[in-house]
Structure 1
Amino acid sequence: MALGVALLLWQRPWQGSSDPVVQIPADASAALAEQFRRLSDADTEASFVAAAGAQDAAKEFAQRAWRARAALGASDVSLRYVTGGDITDRSDGSTVADVEVTWSAGSEAGFDESTTRTSSVAFRVAPQPDGRFSIVSAAPRTGALPLWLAGAVAVERSSGAVVIRVDGGDPDLPVESMAAVARAAVLDQVPGTAGEVTFVSPRTQDQTAQIVGQPVDKITQIAAVTTRLDGREGSSEDTVIVLNPTVFSTMDRRAAQVVVSHEATHLLTDAVGTRAESWVVEGFADFVALHDDTAPLSVSAGQVLAQVKADGPPERLPSAADFDAGKHGLGAVYESAWLVFRLLAERFDDAAVVAFYREVLSGAPLGSALDRSFGISVDQLTSQWRTYLKKSASIVS
């Protein structure tokens, strides 16, 4: 029995490999700092791969990251070791090193070349017999993961749109054609908007969460997120629409197009980072996306109207907290915001609706913008909206 136990321990079947576990060297911090310096200094794919370590997983990871950098036109890449890597946390002997990653994106992907992006990244590293490490994967420590570390990247450009696929993206989603429809819808409803629409199409929901810098459970209800690249402040050129393939896979083509057009409205009207009322930002995006939609209210607003039938209309307009991505019933909140704009569009022309949106987006107080655009107060709008919800619910079967 003792021999059997000893043999089992020597073989370590739970490691999935016959390679013995290598101990982390005493000078792990110095070794990692030097290794990440070598990665920063690498100016060819071969030197970058060599600096990543000897394991096959490290070579594959480095090759993929280097080619993703090239696809995005990344430059001025720096990986500065910060801490960690000195205590193993897995049975295979690997550990995590925290690294500050800075880089600049290129115009190949439609980004602002003048902006330097900084992210805190946790690299999975495995000690080697020669005292160095193999760098085998990366995950965000805080914030968003640099796009070139998320997987294999391919950049596709068409008129007015850029599509960045990560590990092939969602192969069943015709992002390019949907982007063209979305851009046309925004330009039609909001004259004077310009620029490209950039979509990031990841292969998995986990990749989406890492790219936008959110826990997975915060995006499970979200089909797409419009955000700054790496979650940083920057110019509108750095704004991207990141798709969530898990949610998109459950949507029909119409619903998916509505989402894409909604997010394109955020991007092309520079709504990312605004302090404007959330219901105005989100409701207007659906106003554009659904402007020419022919689906009945039971489809486009079925969730909120069902709630109104059961419990009556909300007492107030949606707050920023109501749009929390982790909350139950998020779809009904978005529908209720859209119905504010549907109400306004039925009583006023589109030009007045767009002028109101632009004024609020520019920082005008909500009450002042409502008065100047429509001659009503917030209380009057709320009352009219509640009546509109009740009437709409009464005619929906």
Structure 2
Amino acid sequence: MGGVARTRRPLVRPAAAALCCAAVLAGCGPTGDLGDRPDREAVQRLLDGRAAALLHRDEPAYLAGAVPARRAAERQVFRNLADVPLAAWSYRVVSVDGGDRPAARVELDYRVKGYDSAPVAAQESVRLGQDGDGQWRVAAEGADGDQLWEQGPVRVVRGTHSLVLGTTGTASLKTYAADADRAVPAVLRAWGTRGWGGRIVVEVPASLRNMGELLGAPADAYRDIAAVTTGEAGGPASDAPGGRVIVNPEAFGELSAFGRRVVLTHEATHVATRSATAPGTPLWLSEGFADWVAYRGTGRSAPAVAPELARDVAAGHVPRALPSDAAFGTRAAGLAQAYEGAWLACRFIAEEWGDARLVALYRAGADTRRVLGIGTDELTARWRAYVERELG
């Protein structure tokens, strides 16, 4: 994309139980005697007390539910969260295993004040231990990935359209907020406010390695990817969990001002459209639409935005079909061509039928027959001719 590092949104469908970017801080609240085996209702009461202590910034009460050996780590996390504007934080015990190593499966729901209209959810395993007094407390916790506040003190910068949370310096976080504040209005012009609040939360870890830890994935998978958007797709707009834009500071830092704007506009589009993204929405439409919004009105030519695909076309290799979902994997061969072809598909639809019809196609789950009056085969044939014409 003309020197712009690619972005990728992990495909998270409504059936997914946990979100890549969800906050996780599992533990027990004030101590309680659960007997020889943990009891689900008693564990729930302990977690309720722990959640209340966190929201009321009561450190002693929060730490009371941890075994002594765990308290130093829990104290650090508690303090790392001090500046995060939490509107809600609650636990739900899913199950309790009373075996030799008692543990509970817990779902955490939390909301950031002013940014999340519905809770962000995460699942975690909490191991329980008893002190000498026979009371159960949290002894360890584990999840699919780290959370930002487990990596260090979280600094907070508020923009007009953004909230930036990061473990880096405040000065650098302000630049992310400024970039986000330029990106969000472009999304509002293209998509409107339906399904989102017109604001995004950006998480900035200190390094690529930390980004991988947040996502619970190998860092190398994201080395050339400037940012990802996480969140649960589908469902009524009012119930769509808040999306998070997670930045790779190393790749993002290599971008030009224009590249940064494209990346954050692309990711903000994913946040905006997540409530309209159905299980059957093809990635060529969701990724292509995000790039279409990002490049809309910039005056960039097709060869400038799609240089890899342009080289293929010049060599006589016009794509035979719209990009498959598999083509958007971070390690897929021809990843750049997949994004470029998807962008050209959305650009073609907008030029041929109008911007409003492209938005309608997205909201209709890519039902081309109903929205455009043609089937997928005909759309593909016309898109192939368009690609050849624009890039040939």
Q: TM-score, normalised by structure 1?
A: 0.69
- What amino acid maps onto 1:259 in structure 2? V
Give the deviation of 1:305 after TM superposition.
1.9
Q: 1:196 aligned to 2:210?
A: no
The answer (yes or no) to whether the contact 2:346–2:358 under 8 Å persists in 1 is: no
Could you say what secondary structure the match of 1:223 adopts? Answer: strand
* Equivalent-residue separation in structure 2 for 1:187 and 1:197 (angstroms): 12
- What amino acid maps onto 2:108 in structure 1? T
* Equivalent-residue separation in structure 2 for 1:219 and 1:85 (angstroms): 38
Query: CA 1:330/1:170 → structure 2, altered by over 3 Å: closer, same or farther?
Result: farther
Give the deviation of 1:338 after TM superposition.
0.6
Query: CA 1:181/1:59 → structure 2, altered by over 3 Å: closer, same or farther?
Result: same
Paired residues in the alignment total: 346
Give the deviation of 1:333 after TM superposition.
0.6
Give the deviation of 1:265 after TM superposition.
1.7
Q: 1:358 aligned to 2:364?
A: no
Aligned residue in 2 for 1:52? 66
More helix by share: 1
- What amino acid maps onto 1:100 in structure 2? V
- Stretches of structure 2 lacking an aligned partner (at least 5 in a row): 1-34
Q: Give the % identical residues.
A: 25
Q: Deviations over 1:234-282 (max 9, x none)?
A: 7246222222324323333222211110111222234564232321222
Give the deviation of 1:58 after TM superposition.
4.2
* Equivalent-residue separation in structure 2 for 1:345 and 1:315 (angstroms): 21
Aligned residue in 1 for 2:310? 305
- What amino acid maps onto 2:90 in structure 1? V
* Equivalent-residue separation in structure 1 for 2:90 and 2:362 (angstroms): 39
* Equivalent-residue separation in structure 1 for 2:234 and 2:286 (angstroms): 20
- What amino acid maps onto 1:111 in structure 2? D
The CA RMSD measured in Å over matched residues stands at: 4.2
Give the deviation of 1:315 after TM superposition.
0.7
* Equivalent-residue separation in structure 2 for 1:123 and 1:170 (angstroms): 36
Q: Find the partner of 1:378 among 376, 379, 389.
A: 376
The answer (yes or no) to whether the contact 1:265–1:285 under 8 Å persists in 2 is: yes
The answer (yes or no) to whether the contact 1:125–1:136 under 8 Å persists in 2 is: yes
Q: Which moved more, 1:118-127 or 1:177-186?
A: 118-127
- What amino acid maps onto 1:257 in structure 2? R
Query: CA 1:78/1:221 → structure 2, altered by over 3 Å: closer, same or farther?
Result: same
Could you say what secondary structure the match of 2:322 adopts? Answer: coil
* Equivalent-residue separation in structure 1 for 2:287 and 2:169 (angstroms): 29
Give the deviation of 1:207 after TM superposition.
4.1
Q: 1:89-108 alignment to 2 at 5 Å?
A: 99-108=105-114
- Stretches of structure 1 lacking an aligned partner (at least 5 in a row): 1-26, 88-95
* Equivalent-residue separation in structure 2 for 1:328 and 1:168 (angstroms): 36
The answer (yes or no) to whether the contact 2:166–2:173 under 8 Å persists in 1 is: no
* Equivalent-residue separation in structure 2 for 1:75 and 1:212 (angstroms): 23
* Equivalent-residue separation in structure 2 for 1:84 and 1:152 (angstroms): 34
Q: 1:212-223 alignment to 2 at 5 Å?
A: 212=215, 214=217, 216=219, 218-223=221-226
Q: Find the partner of 1:279 among 284, 292, 306.
A: 284
Q: Which moved more, 1:38-47 or 1:256-265?
A: 38-47
Aligned residue in 2 for 1:19? none
Q: 1:43-82 alignment to 2 at 5 Å?
A: 43=53, 44-55=58-69, 58-65=71-78, 67-68=80-81, 71-73=84-86, 75-78=88-91, 82=96
Q: Deviations over 1:128-161 (max 9, x none)?
A: 99999997975424xx666655643333323222
Q: TM-score, normalised by structure 2?
A: 0.70
Q: Which has the higher contact order (CA 8 A, sep 6+)?
A: 2
Structure with higher Rg: it is: 1
- What amino acid maps onto 2:376 in structure 1? V
The answer (yes or no) to whether the contact 1:271–1:361 under 8 Å persists in 2 is: no
Query: CA 1:98/1:170 → structure 2, altered by over 3 Å: closer, same or farther?
Result: farther
The answer (yes or no) to whether the contact 1:217–1:326 under 8 Å persists in 2 is: no
Query: CA 1:297/1:232 → structure 2, altered by over 3 Å: closer, same or farther?
Result: closer
Give the deviation of 1:339 after TM superposition.
1.2
- What amino acid maps onto 2:206 in structure 1? R
* Equivalent-residue separation in structure 1 for 2:160 and 2:335 (angstroms): 33
Could you say what secondary structure the match of 2:225 adopts? Answer: coil
* Equivalent-residue separation in structure 2 for 1:221 and 1:136 (angstroms): 38
